[in-house]
Amino acid sequence: MEFNNIKGNTWAACGPVNIGAYVIEGEAVLIDSGNDSSSGRKILRLAEETGWNIRLIINTHFHADHVGGNAFIQKRTGCGIAASAKETPFIDMPEMEPEILWSGRAPKAICSKFLQAEPSNVTITATPGTVIEGWGLRIIALPGHAHGQIGVLTPDGVFFMADSVISERILNKYGIPFTADYGSAMETFDMLDAFSADYFVPSHGDICKDITPVTAANRNCLTALKDEILEICSEPSTRDGILGKLAKRHGLNMDLPQYVLIHSTVAAIISPLIDSGELLCSFEDGTLSLKSRQ
């Protein structure tokens, strides 16, 4: 991993999670910090070798693969951390993520570094529609993958767009992207199609100048999952039954972390279908059953 210049003062280190940097006269703002303390150590080393002083980390959302390097970098540099108001509590208290995914005290199997980062201290609220003072970095709301997810548009016209979309390669590999809010995700895709930037940097995917093929692939993927769920529910189905059939169809090997992530995506898709009356709820022996309206 190394930082490569995209345009002007804007840089990116591309890897499993693409990390952004905006640098003015050696003073740097990072956009996300990677998976864990090892990622934080590597990013800090790269910054020091380049002669950068890390002043701030902007977290696009609270998921561990984006905030995992926070604690290491903050402890060693004293840098600030900025995040949206909705994401901040989960960065300050990351043990809440597995508990929310599990709907209660979580088993140890889902409290690993992949779902629970080390705690770090958010010092700045990054409010969508505002600019980070002194840096000119514009905060853009990108709800869907996470409720309070944000993107960052640099003065160079480079847009770091978090997990609002993922690459077609990853979609084709896994088939079921994590989604917290189906409706918001679809609205975000529409917004991105009209968004003006010179370069688009998804956190998981290739830097590009035209994002519309990627938004189309993500929109089609979620729409196909919705249609699959409605088809599965042509016969009464439980939430776990829906999840199991989707996992089998998409060739997924299940474990507890995979289970809670896909369970959340299923919930995000079925909720608006229940609200619209396209899925009907009933209970039999205390078990929720879902059936498509005929």
Domains of the chain: 3-223 (3.60.15.10), 234-292 (1.10.10)
CA–CA distance, 155 with 135 (Å, rounded to integer): 8
- The pLDDT tens digits of the residues spanning 176-214 come to 999 999 999 999 999 999 999 999 999 999 999 999 999
Which amino acid, residue 136? G
How many other CB atoms sit within 10 Å of the CB of residue 138? Answer: 17
Task: Report the alpha-carbon distance of residue 205 to residue 42 in Å, rounded.
Answer: 20
Summarize pLDDT for 56-112 with one digit per residue, the tens: 999 999 999 999 999 999 999 999 999 999 999 999 999 999 999 999 999 999 998
* pLDDT tens-place string over residues 136-184: 999 999 999 999 999 999 999 999 999 999 998 888 887 899 999 999 9
Strands (E), 158-276: 158-160, 199-201
Average pLDDT, the chain: 95
Inter-residue contact 65 to 33 (CB < 8 Å): no
Do the strands 131-132 and 137-141 form a parallel or antiparallel pair, or are they unpaired? Answer: antiparallel
Cα(137)–Cα(55) distance, rounded to whole angstroms? 14
- Helix ranges restricted to H, 234-281: 239-249, 256-276
Q: Residue 223 corresponds to which tokens in the numbers above?
A: 């729409």
The answer to whether residues 112 and 154 touch, using CB atoms and an 8 Å cutoff, is: no
Q: What angle do CA 205, 211, 217 make, to 5 degrees?
A: 75
> H or E stretch including 185?
helix 182-194
Taking the C-alpha atoms of residue 56 and residue 262, their distance in angstroms, rounded to an integer, is 33
Mean pLDDT of 48-55: 95
- The label of the residue with tokens 């977290």 reads 59
Q: 0.85 cut: is pTM over it?
A: yes
